């Protein structure tokens, strides 16, 4: 019988355990761990702020304690995977460097910022990432991916598809420039604190769904019926905010067991009262089914189900 003894950190506050949870402090240690656990199921996590553990994890969870950053020159900074992205941005801002400030207060670590291509306020990680350093889980060799090779998309990268599970992001090189970002950072922190659940206070994984893109004809037909519908033209199609669609379906503040659609921002599902992963998944399924029924639009989860 398998023993699941190790609680897995996750911002949803889901009680899930793994067979093993290992933190490493150097690349050599990481190589050693990978050698020792070759053939076992491995999942590398950051802060667990975009994960929904639907059951205990039958394998080894890895987490980096490498959390340093250094300037390579006046325009680039290399940060290790385990550094909290917002700590990096805070340090850069203090040192009078700008470029990443719109990503302020996004939970999670540097490693995942590249995997997820995190974004907010019109800026995405891909806009500031120069290259991504990785370790190949099979050969234990380092490999560097250029920005193009990462195939970044909306909350997406090759690390979520063809490279998934094969490479551990070990550090990310971001481009920065001298400049005062204090005001932008403060404004963003205030706005985010006003509408998003605070990590450590209310369990969530941030936006549960991605914003859908629909063909122009479909958007035009919907606009005849819903003239107030917010919409944004883009090369991928017309983007419609998922939060608006969910709100129109009457979900704001609604609960299912311990799970709730966050009253201040309906794109977020929270663990309001000891929710199980099944309750969160069921609420998400009902939300997306009702959006499909009312608008004919499919909304997909941004959160990774494990």
Residues contributing to the site for ligand FAD (CB under 6 A)? 11, 43-51, 81, 106-109, 111-113, 115-116, 118-120, 155, 159, 168-169, 196-197, 199, 204-206, 304
Active-site choice (109, 124, 279, 302): 302
Active-site choice (155, 157, 185, 204): 155
Q: Which residue is listed with tokens 């639009």?
A: 297
Distance CA 49, CA 47 (A): 5
Tell me the closest approach of the beta carbon of residue 251 to ligand FAD, in angstroms: 18
Asked if residues 302 and 207 have their Cβ atoms less than 8 Å apart, the reply is yes
Q: Residue 205 or 297: which CB sits closer to ligand FAD?
A: 205
Distance CA 306, CA 302 (A): 13
Three-class SS state of 24:
strand
Is 31 marked active-site?
no
Is 166 marked active-site?
no
Q: What are phi and psi of 144, to 5 degrees?
A: -105, 130
Q: Residue 291 or 306: which CB sits closer to ligand FAD?
A: 306
Tell me the closest approach of the beta carbon of residue 106 to ligand FAD, in angstroms: 4
Is 207 marked active-site?
yes
Nearest to 207 by CA among 236, 233, 239, 242: 242
Three-class SS state of 21:
strand
Tell me the closest approach of the beta carbon of residue 41 to ligand FAD, in angstroms: 12
Bridge partners of 45? 63
Distance CA 297, CA 214 (A): 8
Which letter does DSSP use for residue 36 in this model? H
Distance CA 232, CA 239 (A): 5
Tell me the closest approach of the beta carbon of residue 303 to ligand FAD, in angstroms: 8
Active-site choice (64, 204, 207, 288): 207
Q: Residue 188 or 222: which CB sits closer to ligand FAD?
A: 188
Tell me the closest approach of the beta carbon of residue 277 to ligand FAD, in angstroms: 14
Sign (positive/negative) of CA torsion 222, 226, 229, 231? Answer: positive
Q: Residue 6 or 226: which CB sits closer to ligand FAD?
A: 6
Q: Residue 46 or 266: which CB sits closer to ligand FAD?
A: 46
Residue whose C-beta lies closest to ligand FAD? 46
The residues that are catalytic are 155, 207, 302
């Amino acid at each position: 019988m398998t023993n699941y003894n190790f609680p897995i950190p996750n911002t949803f506050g889901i009680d899930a355990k793994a067979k093993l949870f290992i933190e490493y402090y150097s690349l050599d240690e990481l190589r050693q761990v990978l050698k020792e656990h070759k053939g076992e199921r491995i999942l590398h996590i950051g802060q667990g702020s975009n994960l929904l553990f639907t059951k205990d994890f039958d394998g080894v969870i890895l987490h980096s304690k490498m959390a340093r950053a250094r300037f390579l020159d006046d325009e680039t900074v290399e940060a290790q995977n385990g550094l909290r992205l917002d700590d990096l941005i805070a340090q850069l801002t203090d040192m009078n460097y700008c470029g990443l400030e719109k990503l302020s207060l996004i939970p999670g670590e540097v490693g995942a910022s590249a995997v997820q291509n995190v974004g907010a306020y019109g800026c995405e990680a891909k806009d500031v990432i120069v290259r991504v350093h990785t370790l190949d889980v099979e050969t234990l060799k380092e490999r560097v991916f250029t920005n193009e090779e990462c195939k970044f998309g909306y909350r997406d990268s090759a690390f979520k598809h063809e490279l998934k599970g094969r490479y551990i992001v070990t550090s990310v090189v971001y481009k920065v420039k001298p400049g005062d970002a204090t005001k932008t950072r403060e404004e963003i922190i205030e706005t985010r604190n006003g509408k998003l659940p605070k990590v450590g206070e209310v369990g969530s994984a941030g936006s549960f769904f991605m914003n859908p893109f629909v063909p122009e004809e479909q958007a035009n037909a919907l606009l005849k019926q819903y003239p107030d519908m917010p919409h944004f033209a883009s090369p991928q199609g017309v983007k419609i905010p998922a939060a608006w669609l969910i709100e129109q379906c009457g979900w704001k503040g609604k609960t299912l067991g311990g799970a709730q659609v966050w009253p201040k921002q309906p794109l977020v599902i929270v663990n309001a009262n000891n929710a199980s992963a099944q309750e969160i998944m069921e609420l998400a399924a009902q939300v997306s089914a009702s959006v499909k029924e009312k608008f004919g639009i499919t909304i997909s989860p941004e959160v990774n189900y494990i």
